[in-house]
Amino acid sequence: MYFRKELTFSTDRHEDLVDITSEINVAIVESGMEHGVCNIYVPHATSGVLVNENDDPNIIEDLLGVLRKIAPEGSFLHDRIDGNGDAHVKSAIIGPSESIPFKNSQLLLGTWQSVMLCEFDGPKYSRKVIITLFTG
């Protein structure tokens, strides 16, 4: 079995992590599929998808702080073109996708894991996330 759906999210801050776990789980229920693997893919070169804790919002700040230290805004060759070289580097390091197993129509996440859409050059009012489910 196979199911694909495109979701859309907006980001509020220049750098933002948005928890998209519940929207993905709703899409899995909608698919009628009980088990398989879920690929989550963001088709934007200043964005990313990651999995980590969202219970304490400070973890997001801690991660953004490390990425800013690694790739400081305004320090890149690409900035001559559109000023977002740091966002491309952060996006390349985090990566555009994750693949996560699901069971009973829900992602098999750990207690402290959420799926988050990352935007490093926002705010962006319409960011696509492509969800693909497959069973093999």
CA-based torsion, 58, 59, 62, 64: positive or negative: negative
User: Does 68 contact a second copy by CB under 8 A?
Assistant: no
Tell which one of 9, 11, 20, 91 touches a second copy (CB under 8 A). Answer: 91
Write out 20-79 in H/E/C secondary structure.
CHHHHHHHHHHHCCCCEEEEEECCCCCEEEEEECCCCCHHHHHHHHHHHHHCCCCCCCCH
| Closest distance to a second copy from the beta carbon of 15 (Å) | 14
Q: What is the CB neighbour count within 10 angstroms for residue 34?
A: 14
Q: Which range, of 8-16, 20-28, 105-113, touches a second copy by CB under 8 A? A: 105-113
Contacts with a second copy by CB under 8 A lie at: 1-4, 35-37, 39, 41-45, 50-53, 56, 58-59, 61-63, 65-66, 69-71, 76-78, 80-81, 85, 88-89, 91-101, 103, 108-110, 112-113, 128, 130, 132-136
